[in-house]
Amino acid sequence: MPDTTLTIAADLRRDTAVAEIRSTIVDVPTVRGHKLSQTSITAQSYVVVELMLANGVTGIGEAATLGGPRWSEESVEAIKANIDAYLAPSLIGHASDRFEAAAARMDAAAKRNNAAKAAIETALFDAVGKTLGVPAALLLGGIVRDRVPVLWTLASGDSAQEVEEAERKLAARLHDTFKVKIGAQSAEADLARLRHLSRALEGRARLIVDVNQAWDEAVSARCLPALADMGIVLVEQPVPAWNVAAMARLRARPGTPPLLADECVFDAHDMLAVAQAGAADAVSLKLVKHAGLLGLHKVAAVAEAAGIALYGGCLLESSIGAAAHLHAFAGLRELAWGCEHFGPQILTDDLVTEPLRFADFHVHLPSGPGLGVQLDQQKLRRYARQ
Ligand code: MUC
Ligand code: MG
C-alpha cells in the first residue's frame, strides 16, 4: 500500500511554493481627524500584500502605518520598497507552509522592517489556510475565543465631541471601553479634557489613556496619580520607549495606575527586558511590532511567563490587518484587556468584500479559511496610490 500521506505532502509542498508577491500602497480616508502625540491623520496608509502560490491560491496581508514614519520608523513608501527589493525575492520558491523558515529567510534579507515582514507572513498564513481549507488560527494552535471585546479610541482632541462620539458608540452597543489619545497638548490641558470625559461617562464606560511617549518621568510622576483619581484604569507608554527604567520607577510609585507597554516592546528580547525591569503590568501586542503572527505569539509567551497581562493592540488596520490580529489573538490562553481593533470603523471604506462584524461590544473572528476575509480588487484599485 503506497504511503499516500507522503505523496499528498510532496504535492502540497511543490504546489504551495511562493510564486509571486505583489505590494500596493493604498490611502483610505478616516471619518474624522485622529490626533496622537507625535502625529495627526485624516487618512490611513497601508501596503497591501498579495502572495500567489504555485497552486494559484492568493493570500493577503497588510502593513499599517500611522502618519508616515512617525509612530515607528516604517513608512508605506519604505515598506513597499523593501518588500519589492529584498523581502519578496527572499521567499520566491520557498515552501509557504514552512512559516518559521520563511521568517528566518526574511530576517536574513533585512533587519527589522517588522511591519513589512508581518504583512508577508500574514499572507503566507492566509494562502496556506485557504489551500488547506482551515482558519489561520488553526495553524497557530487552535481557537480559544471567536470574539474579542473591542475598545474605541477618542482622538479628536475636543472633549465635547469626544463625549458625543462615546455616547453614540455606547448606544449602538459597539464599545464601552474608550482609549483617549493624550500628549499632543500640555499635560494640564489633557487632564482637564480627561476630567470632562470621566465625569460624563462615569459608571457607564471604562477609560484608558495612551500618552504615546510624550511625557518625561517628572511629568508622569506628577500626573499618573491624578489619572488614577479620575478612574483611568490603564496608562499606555507614558515615557519614551528607551526609558524602561523610568517606567519601572513610575510603576513602583504609590498611586500609579497599571502601565501598558507599547513602543518599548517590539520583539521578545524587549519583552524580557521590560519584564525583568518590572516596567509594565500589560503589553500591547501588534503585528507591526512583532514582525508576524509567530513573533506576536513569542512576545505573548514571554509576557505570560512573567505574569504580564496581554492587550490586543492595533495601528488602525483595515479588516485585512484586523482579521490577521484576531487570528493571532484567537489562540491566546488569556487576553485580559481585550483589543482595540476599531480600525475598520474609523475608515470611510474597507478593502475587503465583507468587513469584520462588530456587535455586543465585541469584534468577531471571521469564519472561513485563511484570514476569513477576501480582498476587494475594485477597492484596491480605487484607493491605490497612483
Ligand atoms: C498606539 O500607539 O496605540 C492604537 C490606537 C490608536 O489610535 O493609535 C494606535 C497606536
Ligand atoms: Mg500605543
pLDDT-based confidence at residue 5 (cuts at 50, 70, 90): low
Greatest Cα-to-Cα distance within the chain, rounded to the nearest angstrom: 77
Percent of the chain exceeding pLDDT 90 equals 95
The set of cell numbers assigned to 104 is 528566518
> E strands along 128-268, which residues?
147-149, 152-154, 177-181, 206-210, 234-236, 259-261
Q: Which of 62, 74, 263, 340 is catalytic?
A: 340
Q: Is 60 exceeded by the pLDDT of residue 7?
A: no
| Ligand 1 atom having least distance to the Cα of 315 | 9
Residue range 365-382, pLDDT digits in tens: 999 999 999 999 999 999
Burial class (CB in 10 A: 0-12, 13-18, 19+), 10: exposed
Round to whole Å and give the CA distance between 264 and 211: 13
Round to whole Å and give the CA distance between 368 and 311: 25
Cβ atoms of 264 and 274 within 8 Å: the answer is: yes
Ligand 1 touching residue 315 (CB < 6 A): yes
Please report the sign of the dihedral spanned by the C-alpha atoms of residue 224, residue 168, residue 330, residue 128: negative
Per-chain mean pLDDT for the chain: 96
**How far out from the chain centre does Cα 17 lie?**
28
pLDDT-based confidence at residue 4 (cuts at 50, 70, 90): low
Residue recorded with cell 496610490: 385
Round to whole Å and give the CA distance between 10 and 3: 11
Round to whole Å and give the CA distance between 312 and 148: 9
pLDDT-based confidence at residue 11 (cuts at 50, 70, 90): low
Domains and CATH numbers, the chain: 4-133 (3.30.390.10), 139-380 (3.20.20.120)
Q: Compute, in angstroms, the gap from residue 81 CA to the centroid of ligand 1.
A: 24
Nearest ligand to the CA of 314 is 1
Q: What are phi and psi of 40, to 5 degrees?
A: -145, 135
Ligand 1 touching residue 212 (CB < 6 A): yes
| DSSP for 351-380, written as a single string | SBSSPPEEETTEEEPPPSSBTS--B-HHHH
pLDDT of residue 386: 87
Q: Which of 181, 286, 289, 379 is catalytic?
A: 181
Quick check: is 162 catalytic?
no
Ligand 1 touching residue 270 (CB < 6 A): no
Q: Compute, in angstroms, the gap from residue 283 CA to the centroid of ligand 2.
A: 10
Q: Is 60 exceeded by the pLDDT of residue 384?
A: yes
pLDDT of residue 254: 95
Round to whole Å and give the CA distance between 243 and 224: 16
Which residue's CA is minimally distant from atom 9 of ligand 1? 315
What stretch of H or E contains 239? none
Ligand 1 touching residue 317 (CB < 6 A): no
Count CA atoms within 13 Å of residue 182 on its CB side. Answer: 31
Quick check: is 340 catalytic?
yes
Round to whole Å and give the CA distance between 142 and 126: 15
